[in-house]
Structure 1
Amino acid sequence: MHISTIETSSLGDRSYLVDDGAVAAVIDPQRDVDRALGAAGERGVTITHVFETHIHNDYVTGGLELSRVTGAQYVLSEMDDVDFRHRAISDGEVLKVGAMRFQAMHTPGHTHHHLSYVLLDEAGEPKAVFTGGSLLYGTTGRTDLLGPEHTTDLSHKQFHSVRKLAEELPPNVEVYPTHGFGSFCSATQSSGNESSTIGEERQANPALTHDEQTYVDDLMAGLSDYPAYYAHMGVINSQGPEPIDLRAPEPVDAAALRQRIDDGEWVVDLRQRRAFAAGHLAGTMGFELSTSFVTYLGWLYQWGAPITLIGGTTEQVLDARRDLARIGIDNVTGAAVSSHEHLADLALAASDVRSYRVASFADLAREKDARELVVLDARRKDEHNASAIPGALNIPIHEVLSRRDEVPDGEIWVHCESGYRASITASILDRDGREIVLIDDDFDEAGQHGLIEES
């Protein structure tokens, strides 16, 4: 048996292709199914089954499309209420996939109907377990995605589900979670390990080292805000997603770009944050294409609104479209590509190009007492409460669109933990014509320059 990992670092998730040399199963595939098909092609195997551990809240599944393309059985919990044909599976049931066996194990917590799948060899011995959003590396899946009225109950169920896995499976069984690699579906930050076993988790996972109430209290206390687009994922996945469209968007010229900006449409610049600061079209938003891009754009996005992309290369635009499609943002109505540092070829007039200063925490330490300025912290509330610059105004990035009127007049120095969230926040405030300084620096540097006040 061979297990291939299909990484989606932009969402902090993993899918898996499991094969016996002839046939294969895919667990929790992403919407861009070409990657799973490519992995199967590399292995020279045929996909006959697609397994979902749960109805996902952080991405649009590719399971339905993969089953359509390959003719594979699409396997979901018998408790899931979905609008498409599938193979329902119950707790304890075993499905044969070539020489392999997959046994469903009901592990509620992340969702009520959540399943884990135990991979059995021909002798019926457990070799691996695919745990979805249940047992993660050094943590567990979050339990508040179905609403606050379910959180306490699901937190207790998550504890017992992880205990069930640890008690029923041998210590050498390898653990393969879907979440926990940066996904907001993780209750707390994972251990950072690239692999783990049941035995290793028995030694380190809080659900296995703490008593039930301590685990539940710590889990619930650690739950922070999660992306707003999550509200749409379960609905799309239950109804059955449409096939993905990864074609290049229609090209847009300078006049059309300006019209879209003036009409208040989402025109998103994908270039590096410092390039955006040095010169960008007035009225655009800067979302540097990175592993964090789709999470934060999806968090702020007005669902259903048309998006126009500006990239430094065609490949950048195509990569962004793929990322957006993974969370169901399909209304990409056009794109423009410019290799010019200051986008001169996309501006109708010199006044259409704006810029702002990029600085460091060392600069802030030198200049903060010389004149009046506003320090804006774009991190989450829990991050700000743990350690902050005295007097800084905290408006988390996902609240900036609705709260930007709270930012006082004057020169605004925007920071976060690394500069990424600050760069998006800066671009949004710049659309209002504000005087911006982007602090593109590691927050640890603030402490090194005497700016931090620990709580």
Structure 2
Amino acid sequence: MDIVVVATPELGDRSYVVAEGTVAFVVDPQRDIDRIIQICAEHGLIVAAVGDTHIHNDYVSGGLALSSELGVPYLVHADDQVAFERVAVRDGDVFEFGPLNVEVLHTPGHTPNHISFRVTSVSDPTGVVMSGGSMLYGSVGRTDLISEEMTEPLSRAQYRSAHRIADSLPSETELMPTHGFGSFCSAVSVQEVSDGTVGGERRVNIVFKYPDEDEFVAMLMASYDPYPAYYRHMGPANRAGASALRPMAPRRLSGPEAAELCGAGAIAIDIRSRHEHYASHPRGSYLMEYGSSFSTYLGWMFPSDSAFILVTDSSSDPVAAVRSLGFIGIEEIVGQVEAAELSLVLGEGSITAIDFAEYFDHLRTTPHQLLDVRNPSEHRQNRLPGAIQIPIYEVANRIDELDPSIPVVVHCAAGFRASAAGSLLTQRGFNVVVINDDLANGLARL
């Protein structure tokens, strides 16, 4: 049995193509279904069915679009209230897709109706368990995404689901989770690394470090940082069913056209490298450097129904940015504009960026506000003395906690979040210095 991992680093998630011979079963696909179709074509595979382990909270699923395009069954838990035709499955259901045997395991916790798929074949009777947001590598899926009232019962269910997987499946069974690769759907984890099997996870996974369910639940519920604001839109989008994502380059705008749209409420997002933004950017534009964290933080900091203009240069990849935003349902990209052209209309700004050596050598003893925009748990773990802690996603709403008459020096863990927050503060009239450096270099100076 062969498994093709289809990673989506922007969201920290994985989809899977499980195959035996020429027959494939696809689990938790993203909306850009052409990736899956191309992989299957390259491997000579015919998709027999598609399954989603749960109604996803962190991305818009491509399950319906892929199954519809290929004309194959789409497996979704029977109790999930969806607006489309699917194969309604329950715990213990078994499906034979050619040489593949797919067993449904109800593993609630991440969501109430969460399921895992155990896939076996004649050549691999031990098989693999596609665990979605249930048991992850070293961790489990977070349990607070449905509601505050459901968090404790789902935490208890998650504990029991992990034990069910470990107790009922052979220890050699490969574990293939969807979350846990940077996704905010993952809960607190351990540093130990297993061999990727159910037995390996029994040795290292945090859920098995707590023989008492009550202690585990208390620890889990106390560990949560906030999750991205756009998550609240993902469940409704997935219950309604989404179309395939086939991104195209946004319409090219002239500087005056883009400026007019900005005047009408569109948000100019500078997707260039942070270094380019530091040196020169159109006034009024917000830095959100394209990369692995791009869509998560843009969807966290700005309303999902906003109209966006991408500010680019010759090295930018606007199609990749559109694809990344489409993963989380942001689709109103009204155009792209060259940074230099928009600057000619709106004026040019810049941001001072330094490293921690420069900060400690030249700024540490001067009047300033040191702002830490990391998550609360990161700040609790280690911090620079005197730092004000406001997570990046709360800066806009807590800006009154900062004094606009005193310079603000912004840091995070490595520079991405500090740069984005510094850009926002610059647009609000603050005198900003961004520390674009690894925090470890700062802590080493203490």
Q: TM-score category by the smaller chain?
A: over 0.9
The equivalent of 1:229 in structure 2 is 230
The equivalent of 1:438 in structure 2 is 434
Counterparts of residues 75-154 of structure 1 (less than 5 Å): 75-122=75-122, 125-154=125-154
Residue 323 (structure 2) pairs with residue 328 (structure 1): no
- Is residue 413–residue 439 contact of structure 2 (8 Å, CA) maintained in 1? yes
Does the C-alpha gap of structure 1 residues 71 and 369 become closer, same or farther in structure 2, counting only changes over 3 Å?
closer
Partner amino acid, structure 2, of 1:96 = E
- Whole-angstrom distance in 2 between the partners of 1:256 and 1:123: 61
Q: How far off its partner does 1:185 sit?
A: 0.5
Counterparts of residues 243-262 of structure 1 (less than 5 Å): 243-262=244-263
Counterparts of residues 303-342 of structure 1 (less than 5 Å): 303-313=304-314, 316-336=317-337, 338=338
Does the C-alpha gap of structure 1 residues 92 and 369 become closer, same or farther in structure 2, counting only changes over 3 Å?
closer
For residue 311 of structure 2, give the secondary structure of its aligned residue in structure 1: strand
- Whole-angstrom distance in 2 between the partners of 1:132 and 1:8: 14
Deviations 1:280-307 (A, max 9, x none): 0000000011101111001112121101
The equivalent of 2:385 in structure 1 is 390
Deviations 1:150-172 (A, max 9, x none): 11111111111011111110111
Q: How far off its partner does 1:389 sit?
A: 2.1
- Whole-angstrom distance in 1 between the partners of 2:351 and 2:48: 54
Partner amino acid, structure 1, of 2:109 = G
- Whole-angstrom distance in 2 between the partners of 1:293 and 1:312: 17
Residue 418 (structure 2) pairs with residue 426 (structure 1): no
Deviations 1:349-394 (A, max 9, x none): 5x70100111111222123355311111111122223322222221
Residue 380 (structure 2) pairs with residue 379 (structure 1): no
Counterparts of residues 179-218 of structure 1 (less than 5 Å): 179-189=179-189, 191=191, 196-211=196-211, 212-218=213-219
Q: Which moved more, 1:398-407 or 1:11-20?
A: 398-407
- Whole-angstrom distance in 2 between the partners of 1:206 and 1:255: 55
Residue 394 (structure 2) pairs with residue 407 (structure 1): no
Q: Which moved more, 1:194-203 or 1:77-86?
A: 194-203
Structure 2 gap segments, 5+ residues each: none
Partner amino acid, structure 2, of 1:413 = V
Deviations 1:55-85 (A, max 9, x none): 0000000001001110011110111110000
Relative to the length of structure 2, the TM-score reads 0.96
For residue 348 of structure 1, give the secondary structure of its aligned residue in structure 2: helix
- Is residue 180–residue 189 contact of structure 1 (8 Å, CA) maintained in 2? no
Partner amino acid, structure 1, of 2:325 = L
- Whole-angstrom distance in 1 between the partners of 2:374 and 2:297: 12
- Is residue 136–residue 190 contact of structure 1 (8 Å, CA) maintained in 2? no
- Whole-angstrom distance in 1 between the partners of 2:380 and 2:180: 24
- Whole-angstrom distance in 2 between the partners of 1:369 and 1:19: 58
Identity of aligned residues (%): 38
Deviations 1:311-368 (A, max 9, x none): 22476100000000000001111112x4xxxx4343225x701001111112221233
Residue 445 (structure 2) pairs with residue 449 (structure 1): yes
Does the C-alpha gap of structure 1 residues 387 and 123 become closer, same or farther in structure 2, counting only changes over 3 Å?
closer
- Whole-angstrom distance in 2 between the partners of 1:33 and 1:215: 38
The equivalent of 1:155 in structure 2 is 155
Residue 352 of structure 1, aligned match among 339, 343, 347: 347
Q: How far off its partner does 1:21 sit?
A: 2.0
Q: How far off its partner does 1:422 sit?
A: 0.5
- Is residue 233–residue 327 contact of structure 1 (8 Å, CA) maintained in 2? yes
- Is residue 359–residue 438 contact of structure 1 (8 Å, CA) maintained in 2? yes
For residue 32 of structure 2, give the secondary structure of its aligned residue in structure 1: coil
Deviations 1:90-119 (A, max 9, x none): 101101111010000000000110001111
Does the C-alpha gap of structure 1 residues 37 and 315 become closer, same or farther in structure 2, counting only changes over 3 Å?
farther
- Is residue 108–residue 158 contact of structure 1 (8 Å, CA) maintained in 2? yes
The equivalent of 2:19 in structure 1 is 19
Q: What RMSD in Å do the two structures reach over aligned CA positions?
A: 1.7
Deviations 1:186-214 (A, max 9, x none): 01246585960011011111222321222
For residue 289 of structure 2, give the secondary structure of its aligned residue in structure 1: coil
Relative to the length of structure 1, the TM-score reads 0.94
- Is residue 104–residue 116 contact of structure 1 (8 Å, CA) maintained in 2? yes
- Is residue 190–residue 206 contact of structure 2 (8 Å, CA) maintained in 1? no
- Whole-angstrom distance in 2 between the partners of 1:68 and 1:372: 61
Deviations 1:393-435 (A, max 9, x none): 2111001121223211221111011111001001101112321
The equivalent of 1:270 in structure 2 is 271
The equivalent of 1:66 in structure 2 is 66
- Whole-angstrom distance in 2 between the partners of 1:194 and 1:63: 30
- Is residue 423–residue 440 contact of structure 1 (8 Å, CA) maintained in 2? yes
The equivalent of 1:453 in structure 2 is none
Does the C-alpha gap of structure 1 residues 194 and 276 become closer, same or farther in structure 2, counting only changes over 3 Å?
farther
Q: Which moved more, 1:58-67 or 1:394-403?
A: 394-403
- Whole-angstrom distance in 2 between the partners of 1:192 and 1:265: 46
Q: Which moved more, 1:425-434 or 1:121-130?
A: 121-130
- Is residue 138–residue 204 contact of structure 1 (8 Å, CA) maintained in 2? yes
- Whole-angstrom distance in 1 between the partners of 2:267 and 2:57: 24
For residue 261 of structure 1, give the secondary structure of its aligned residue in structure 2: helix
Q: Which moved more, 1:185-194 or 1:28-37?
A: 185-194
